[in-house]
């Protein structure tokens, strides 16, 4: 945990630039929440705010957002980023997802984007059930383990799949939610994105540990894997400025209900 915390502090200043952001999920969320005239919500594991900006852009002034992250450096960059875009309807809270300073039945919505694998998930789900209003929504946007294996990193970067053991499969998430009778999955939305990149940019992303997975390698493992990654890409692709693949994600749409499931 200390190593991962150091990793996020180290890359906080460039995190938004290193990561690819997809906003189709937020378009879906906007439609789901269109009947709300006012939304009090929280983004768990908000990072440097790249998805939070889009939440404000798509949901508008009806949104007040609590931005929660365990890393203070990320929250500092988020604050500067949102204020730069003249957004003031937010508050940052340094907190782990397993225990948050909200009263019961407080929030209309909870969001988490590509962060749930960092949480103590059973405690996070219990907290979500506690702090959501009846009828409130929990939106979990994540990559499944099988989807991860099909990414450019899972296919061509040695040890990537072996190192990344934190990501769940859909049946695992469903099983965890079944233990909480107040949280019911309404739908599972799947997203698939065509990617195009250069080898040079992929190397830069890996060297800067744009995925925390890379921080799970020791120095020797990473250096050797990076060499093999370059070799794998050169064997597979003729044009090293046009590396193509698909990234995949899911969005779990979960509703809190006060009715016990049978």
Beta carbons of 99 and 123 less than 8 angstroms apart: yes
> Is the whole-model pTM more than 0.85?
yes
93-108 tens-digit pLDDT: 999 998 999 999 999 9
How many C-beta neighbours within 10 Å does residue 116 have?
22
pLDDT of residue 4: 53
User: In this model, does residue 143 exceed pLDDT 50?
Assistant: yes
- Establish if 137 belongs to a structural domain: yes
- Establish if 199 belongs to a structural domain: no
| Domain total in the chain | 1
- Establish if 240 belongs to a structural domain: no
Cβ-proximal residues to 261 (8 Å cutoff; 6+ apart), any chain: 181, 184
User: In this model, does residue 18 exceed pLDDT 60?
Assistant: no
- Establish if 52 belongs to a structural domain: yes
- Establish if 233 belongs to a structural domain: no
Closest CA to 129 of 137, 119, 120: 137
71-92 tens-digit pLDDT: 998 899 999 999 999 999 999 9
CA–CA gap between residue 218 and residue 224 (Å, rounded): 10
CA atoms within 13 A on the CB side of 39: 27
CA–CA gap between residue 146 and residue 151 (Å, rounded): 9
184-227 tens-digit pLDDT: 999 999 999 999 999 999 999 999 888 889 989 999 999 999 99
- Establish if 25 belongs to a structural domain: yes
Sequence-ordered alpha helix ranges (H) in 169-218:
170-178, 199-207
- Establish if 262 belongs to a structural domain: no
Token code pair at residue 152: 């450019």
29-62 tens-digit pLDDT: 999 999 999 999 999 999 989 899 999 999 999 9
The CATH number covering residue 143 comes to 3.40.50.150
- Establish if 110 belongs to a structural domain: yes
174 lies in which domain range? 2-151+163-194+248-256
Q: For the chain, give the percent of residues with pLDDT over 90.
A: 84
Mean pLDDT, residues 157-178: 96
pLDDT of residue 12: 45
């Amino acid at each position: 945990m200390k190593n991962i915390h150091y990793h996020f502090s180290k890359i906080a200043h460039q995190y938004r630039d290193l990561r690819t952001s997809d906003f189709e999920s937020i378009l879906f969320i906007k439609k789901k929440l269109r009947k709300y005239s006012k939304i009090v919500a929280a983004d768990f594991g908000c990072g440097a705010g790249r998805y939070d900006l889009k939440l404000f852009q798509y949901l508008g002034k009806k949104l007040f957002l609590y931005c929660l992250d365990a890393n203070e450096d990320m929250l500092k960059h988020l604050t500067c980023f949102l204020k730069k875009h003249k957004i003031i309807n937010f508050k940052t809270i340094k907190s782990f997802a397993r225990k948050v300073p909200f009263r019961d039945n407080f929030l209309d919505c909870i969001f988490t984007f590509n962060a749930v694998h960092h949480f103590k998930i059973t405690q996070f789900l219990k907290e979500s059930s506690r702090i959501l209003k009846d009828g409130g929504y929990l939106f979990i946007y994540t990559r499944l383990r099988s989807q991860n294996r099909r990414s450019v990193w899972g296919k061509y970067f040695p040890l990537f799949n072996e190192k990344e053991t934190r990501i769940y499969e859909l049946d695992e998430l469903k099983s965890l939610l079944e233990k909480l009778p107040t949280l019911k999955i309404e739908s599972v939305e799947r997203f698939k994105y065509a990617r195009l990149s250069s080898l040079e940019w992929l190397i830069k992303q890996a060297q800067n540990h744009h995925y925390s997975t890379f921080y799970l390698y020791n120095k020797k493992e990473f250096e050797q894997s990076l060499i093999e990654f370059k070799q794998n890409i050169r064997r597979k692709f003729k044009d090293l400025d046009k590396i193509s693949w698909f990234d995949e994600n899911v969005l779990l749409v979960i509703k809190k209900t006060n009715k016990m499931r049978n």
